[in-house]
Chains A and B, each alone.
Chain A
Amino acid sequence: MTIVEKILNRINRPDLLQVLSDELTPSELNSLLLEVFNRQTGRLTPAELLQHYQKNRFVKPADTDFLALRELETKLLQLFETFQFKPIELSPVAPLGSCSVVATADQQKILSALRGTEVLADATNALALHVSDLKKSGQWKPVFATDQLRFSTIQRHVRTPKVAIAGHTQHFKIGCLVSSGRDTGSFQFERESLAEHLAVVTAVLRDALRMDTLRFKLIQRSDDGRLLEQVKDHLLQLRPDLVIETETTPDRENRYYKGLQYKVLVTVRGQDYEIGDGGFVDWTQQLLQNKKERFLITGLGVELLFRLVS
């Protein structure tokens, strides 16, 4: 029996869940829950509030040097902007379902909130929504078929699964890059956008932060290996200075990325770290209902990076 079923049995309201989720509109449910929370907080004393703060693993501050981390963030955003990835500051909340509706993400791992929102769990999903909105509303129109929209951000993400690794926290900063374009044939978008993301990551890690051990691993995420081959050939020809590894038969299945995933690896003080991750996703295809849409995302662990370079 699940926790929810146990609760419903205890209060003898076995159909409550169905009523709340199926019979009420989102707006009605929101009003109802707001009233519930209003009553609950009305009963709460300051002493209890402090107890909640002490027990709740989501609400504690980060244990980083705030100003030094900010300095690094500013540096990174400046670099992103120089490479024409326009930095934007996102809202700390995104529409409910931002991650789970378009990606293989479990809503249970996301802090769902009221008023049809969830706490930001993946900024690249929020950027996909922003890009799709710009395109759908006509606020951005490409001049040429190959034109791309590029955005970057650094956001604090909150995810609910309890962290098992020492040093990891429930909330953490991720630097994100996204490129949005259209399929123009011959994997042109894929080749060019991935080379651009790798160029930015190289400028950040190798050139600005002097991580000479930087290397990239391209991982095939489809049965057809043509995308990996074409992208790899393009990168090797364009950037012989980059260290690129490939994996055509990955150990673990991953349905999050479509066609190609890539990892950013560095070795610091003899230990290997996966400092970044990215790949092609079909989120804008789903949001805009257009199979020609292409979207590349990259996430860099800014807080981990900060710990490694400080």
Chain B
Amino acid sequence: MNKGRVIYEDEAEPHFRLAYPSPALTVFIEYYFEVHQPATLSNPLYLNGLPNLSNLLCISLNPQKWLSINQKTGAIKTVHGSRLLGNLTDLHTSIYPGGVHEFYVKFKPAMLGNLFHFSNLEVENLNADLSSFTRLDELQDHLQTVPSFGERVRLMESVLLPKIQRVTIDHRQKIVQAALQKFEKPAINRTHLGLICRELGVSYPSLHRYFNETLGYSPKYCQKLLRFKHGLRLYKQHGSRCPFEEVGYTDFSHFLKDARQLTQRSPSEL
């Protein structure tokens, strides 16, 4: 049954492009990406967004409307145009009957909030018109007219760089980003939070406080989200026999349990 699918950064997708930011922006931006996939009314494109910590700027390069369905609450939203997409706590399925052509800036957790002055919790599961947050009309028009993904990245960087240079990052945020980096690329047998705290030189209560103040979630929850993303990628590549222990799961059942808890679906349905 077609219930959508998750696209990963490293997928060799003909319709998916990805670029990393210039060094000056790496603290704020994870990467830029663009999805350009045709679809028809009779065979719409279904994509799944996993629960995550990232905030995205989505610049629409295609005037078509699309649907966003929160798979936990059943809430349906018809959307079009450029969007600010908040961090997700629930699985969201997007249905694009007219195809999709969108340019995204994926910000590191909480970093878009630093720029636009909101907390992560305020934009939880948000899918809002970007114009409610910032005036980017001219930029959007400009991005729609430049011919290539590379040029769109350069244009976006030229707009973001002066804004980002005015933002300061405090000590707590730096620690949180460092911890998230360790969650993102877990070393074998080094996934225990106690070990990570020791490596970062903070106590667990301090780390917990920093995470709550910066992201609104506990380190354990954040680790769980990132671990699941990696687990699912492994599952898609190797099936149920892959070494789930490498990303911090006890075994396949543990991964399966997380899938149900976070998405209410089995991994094969994602």
Contact = CB atoms under 8 A, between A and B. Distances in A.
Interface in A219-236: none
Interface stretch (A77-85, A122-130, A290-298): A77-85
Contacts, number: 58
Interface string B112-154: 0000000000000000000000000000000000000000000
Contacts of B66: 82
Given A83-B97, A207-B93, A241-B1, A196 B42 contact: yes
Contacts of A199: 41-44, 97
Contacts of B98: 84
Interface string B87-117: 0000001010110000000000000000000
B67 interface: yes
B78 interface: yes
A203 B2 CA distance: 11
Contacts of A206: 1
Contact of A203 (B44, B65, B74): B44
Interface in A174-221: 192, 195-196, 198-200, 203, 206-210, 212
A interface majority secondary structure: helix
Interface string B236-260: 0000000000000000000000000
Given A199-B97, A208-B74, A208-B76, A81 B65 contact: yes
A82 B74 contact: no
A239 interface: yes
B68 to A, nearest CB: 10
A208 to B, nearest CB: 5
Contacts of B47: none
Nearest to A76: B76
Interface of A: 75, 78-79, 81-84, 192, 195-196, 198-200, 203, 206-210, 212, 238-239, 241
7 contacts: A82-B67, A82-B97, A83-B41, A203-B95, A207-B46, A239-B2, A241-B2
